[in-house]
Amino acid sequence: MNTFFEKTKLNFTIFNTLIAWSLFLLPISLFSQVAFDNASGPVWTSTFSYTVSGTNTFLIVSTETGYPASDDVTGITYNGVAMTRLLTNARQRQDFLYYLVGPATGTHDIVISLNRTIDSQTTTVTSYNGVKQQTPPQYNACVAQTCAVTTTTNNAWLVGTSFSNAVYTQPSGQTARTATTCSQQNIDKGPITPAGSASLGMVGSSNWPLLYTLVLEPAPATYPTLTTQAVTNIAGTTATGNGNVTADGGATITERGVCWNTSTVPTTANNKAISSGTTGAFTSAITALSVNTLYYVRAYAINSAGISYGNEVTFTTFNIPSVTTQAVSNIAATTATGNGNVTANGGLSITERGVCWNTSATPTTANSKATSAGTTGAFTASMTGLSVGTLYYVRAYAINAAGISYGNEVTFTTLNLASITTLAVTSITATTAIGNGNVSADGGATITERGVCWNTSTAPTTGNNKATSAGTTGAFTASITGLTAGTLYYVRAYAVNSVGISYGIEVTFTTPTPAIVDWNKSNVQEITLATNRSFIFTNGKNGGNYTFIIKQNGSGGKAVSWPTNIKWSGITTPSLTTTPNETNIFKFVFDGVNYLETGRSLNIN
């Protein structure tokens, strides 16, 4: 653990020369630099106030009394605490040097106790901070105008004082800080770097060239001091951590922030958020939290001494809303109504609610959504822009400051057109036929009409010709009428529901042209036979025998019959002769006996 402390400068001693030397005995990374704190003097009274600040402080009081050389000073106190005498020098005047380790900070009285009335008394006070707490401090004295000192580590301090207008000679190769003059003192504030020997020199009209070398070690680094404040800006997955580094421990803060965990005593090994800066108040963004969860938080700060943690605080993230999804209603081909219910707001205001949907599972608001005004309670939302006959996945959702919450998933399928097929047309005559279809599915909506439509051009619609058939689903027939003989027709079955009209596949048929049986022709007339062929007889004769010969296709078994109103003269029904296993040939034989009524037609099935 590494900590740095600030250095304080030393200003004191009148009539004598004092050198304060910081001696480093540990690696520099573990120490701060001693820092000058304050200087006061000369003071000619026995009681006066003085201010000490900083940490790891060290107070020195140098006082001088007049002739004769005797032990005039019996003690010195600061803030009522007795200081320790370091040395006494009795030359032409008496010089007393007292110190106090860790004096109270702030402004307090220094009281000098004398054992007699003296003609004069001059006192100078200096203080440092960042000084290692040691008793007594190391020192030496040199009765000369130069005094050699040796350091073992870098960043030591050198402080020199002299009487009157004596001049302090800066050690070679050292960097001086700004000198602080305390009346007759000249104080150098340069660190002695690097480690090694340096010679202090005082030149001038000094009658007392006694030099004091005082060794003040820098205080080892300590941990930073900091506190953890209450967490703010709490949401569902984020919050703001707050801390305050009240002291850097005498070393630069290299990192600070907050750490957190779901169990007590969190460390940076759990979760942490860094905040730039060194000392003072700071904030850190706490992210990636779980909703409705208790967290433990501590501020932390790191310097060369190590890591220090503040007190522990707790907070609980807010919860997301509670929401359920109800069944979709008012389902149509391209629209529907989503239904949800926000049962709890999670402790925060609801900022948005609605339903979201998609054609794949687990829809989110990034897919398609419809909002609904309000906060908690049941709600509806209009779903539009849907595709017909499509399966959709739906979830209700609600949003608060903690985040978004989704309800359970429901599904629905938009209504579709009816499913229908067109079957072959049957019972074809010259002017009529039977259309056939089958509604295999109503598309989820009631069939309001079904039938067949036809036209003499392809893709017939109900806008051309149609024949309806009662019912909804299943097979059906519809009578096609008003046809023209010998014409090709295109036919499609159709069905209508609330989604629209659906057409089956297209089939074709051709109405037959009536076969004309002309009695004036030869005895045998050959006529190509189609299914349901009509025959018209013309030029009828009196007398003679007339014979129909019907040749059938290879399967045979065709039924042939006269219309009931077709008879020979009298009440005799014409006789029919069929020839099996012939293809689509109708033969009429005239024997010249009687004749069939003209203008009649005959259907051969």
- Whether 136 and 263 map to the same domain: the answer is no
For the record, the structure tokens of 371 come out as: 């909002």
- Whether 124 and 182 map to the same domain: the answer is yes
- Whether 204 and 236 map to the same domain: the answer is no
- pLDDT for position 98: 86
- pLDDT for position 122: 78
31-52 pLDDT, tens per residue? 566 677 777 777 778 899 999 9
Which of 106-115, 129-138, 585-594 is the least confident region? 585-594
Residue 178 has pLDDT above 60, yes or no: no
Structure confidence at residue 25 as a pLDDT band (50, 70, 90): very low
Q: If you average pLDDT over each of 15-24, 169-178, 414-423, which comes out highest?
A: 414-423
For residue 123, give the H/E element and its range. Answer: strand 121-129
Q: Which residue range is the domain that position 447 belongs to?
A: 419-510
Residue 129 has pLDDT above 90, yes or no: no
Pairing of strands 465-468, 501-510: unpaired
Distance in angstroms (rounded) separating the CA atoms of residues 212 and 198: 14
Q: What share of the chain has pLDDT > 70, as a percent?
A: 62
- Whether 505 and 523 map to the same domain: the answer is no
Average pLDDT on 190-206 reads 57
Residue 163 has pLDDT above 50, yes or no: no
Question: Contact, 451 vs 479, CB < 8 A?
Answer: no
Average pLDDT on 318-337 reads 96
Distance in angstroms (rounded) separating the CA atoms of residues 405 and 350: 11
Question: Contact, 234 vs 250, CB < 8 A?
Answer: no
Distance in angstroms (rounded) separating the CA atoms of residues 444 and 317: 47
Among 109, 116, 102, which Cα is nearest to 67's?
Answer: 116
Instruction: Kindly state whether residue 322 falls inside one of the protein's structural domains.
Output: no
- pLDDT for position 414: 96
Question: Contact, 478 vs 467, CB < 8 A?
Answer: yes
- pLDDT for position 281: 98
For the record, the structure tokens of 156 come out as: 């030591």
Core vs surface per residue 518-555: b (16+ CB within 10 A) or e: ebeeeeebebebbbbbbbbbeebbeeeebebbbbbeee
Per DSSP, the residues of 292-359 read: T-EEEEEEEEEETTEEEEEEEEEEEPPPPPEEEEEEEES--SS-EEEEEEEEE-TTS---EEEEEEES
- Whether 342 and 274 map to the same domain: the answer is no
- Whether 381 and 439 map to the same domain: the answer is no
Give Cα 312 to chain centroid, integer Å. 27
Is the Cα dihedral 352, 358, 364, 367 positive or negative? negative
- Whether 86 and 153 map to the same domain: the answer is yes
Which of 72-81, 440-449, 505-514, 526-535 is the least confident region? 526-535
Helix (H, G, I), strand (E, B) or coil at 28: helix
- Whether 131 and 255 map to the same domain: the answer is no
Instruction: Kindly state whether residue 1 falls inside one of the protein's structural domains.
Output: no
Average pLDDT on 160-179 reads 52
Instruction: Kindly state whether residue 184 falls inside one of the protein's structural domains.
Output: yes
**Domain at 460, CATH number:** 2.60.40.10
- Whether 476 and 440 map to the same domain: the answer is yes
Among 156, 165, 217, which Cα is nearest to 189's?
Answer: 156
- Whether 47 and 100 map to the same domain: the answer is yes
Residue 492 has pLDDT above 70, yes or no: yes
Instruction: Pick the more confident residue, 38 or 12.
Output: 38
Model pTM score: 0.51
Structure confidence at residue 183 as a pLDDT band (50, 70, 90): very low
Out of 175, 194, 215, a domain closes at 215
Distance in angstroms (rounded) separating the CA atoms of residues 213 and 394: 86
Core vs surface per residue 170-188: b (16+ CB within 10 A) or e: bbeebeebebbebebbbbb
Residue 5 has pLDDT above 50, yes or no: no
For the record, the structure tokens of 380 come out as: 């509806």
- pLDDT for position 35: 72
Residue 244 has pLDDT above 50, yes or no: yes
Instruction: Kindly state whether residue 573 falls inside one of the protein's structural domains.
Output: yes
The verdict on whether omega for the bond into residue 42 sits within 30 degrees of 0, i.e. cis, is yes
- Whether 39 and 128 map to the same domain: the answer is yes
Average pLDDT on 504-513 reads 92
Pairing of strands 58-65, 94-101: antiparallel
- pLDDT for position 3: 24
Question: Contact, 567 vs 573, CB < 8 A?
Answer: yes
Neighbours of 487 (CB within 10 A): 14
Residue 541 has pLDDT above 60, yes or no: no
Distance in angstroms (rounded) separating the CA atoms of residues 106 and 34: 19
284-312 pLDDT, tens per residue? 999 999 989 999 999 999 998 899 999 99
Among 128, 165, 119, 180, which Cα is nearest to 15's?
Answer: 165
Among 126, 161, 173, which Cα is nearest to 17's?
Answer: 161
As a whole number of angstroms, the longest Cα–Cα distance in the chain is 189
Distance in angstroms (rounded) separating the CA atoms of residues 497 and 476: 16
Structure confidence at residue 429 as a pLDDT band (50, 70, 90): confident
Instruction: Kindly state whether residue 472 falls inside one of the protein's structural domains.
Output: yes
329-371 pLDDT, tens per residue? 999 999 999 999 999 999 889 999 999 999 999 999 999 999 9
Out of 163, 189, 215, a domain closes at 215
**Residue with structure tokens 């004092």?**
18
Per DSSP, the residues of 129-176 read: ESB---SSPEEEEEESSEEEEE-SSSSEEEE---STT-EEEPPTTPPP
Among 229, 300, 299, 294, which Cα is nearest to 262's?
Answer: 294
Question: Contact, 564 vs 585, CB < 8 A?
Answer: no
Instruction: Kindly state whether residue 602 falls inside one of the protein's structural domains.
Output: no
The total domain count for the chain is 5
- pLDDT for position 304: 84
DSSP bridge pairs for 139: 214
Instruction: Kindly state whether residue 326 falls inside one of the protein's structural domains.
Output: no
Residue 233 has pLDDT above 60, yes or no: yes
Instruction: Kindly state whether residue 327 falls inside one of the protein's structural domains.
Output: no
- pLDDT for position 592: 43
> What is the chain's mean pLDDT, rounded?
78
Distance in angstroms (rounded) separating the CA atoms of residues 454 and 435: 9
Across the beta sheet with 106-114, the strand order is 47-52, 106-114, 73-78, 81-82
The CA-atom distances, in angstroms, between 120 and each of 42, 90, 124 are 12, 15, 14
- pLDDT for position 322: 96
Out of 266, 283, 316, a domain closes at 316
- Whether 526 and 458 map to the same domain: the answer is no
- pLDDT for position 467: 98
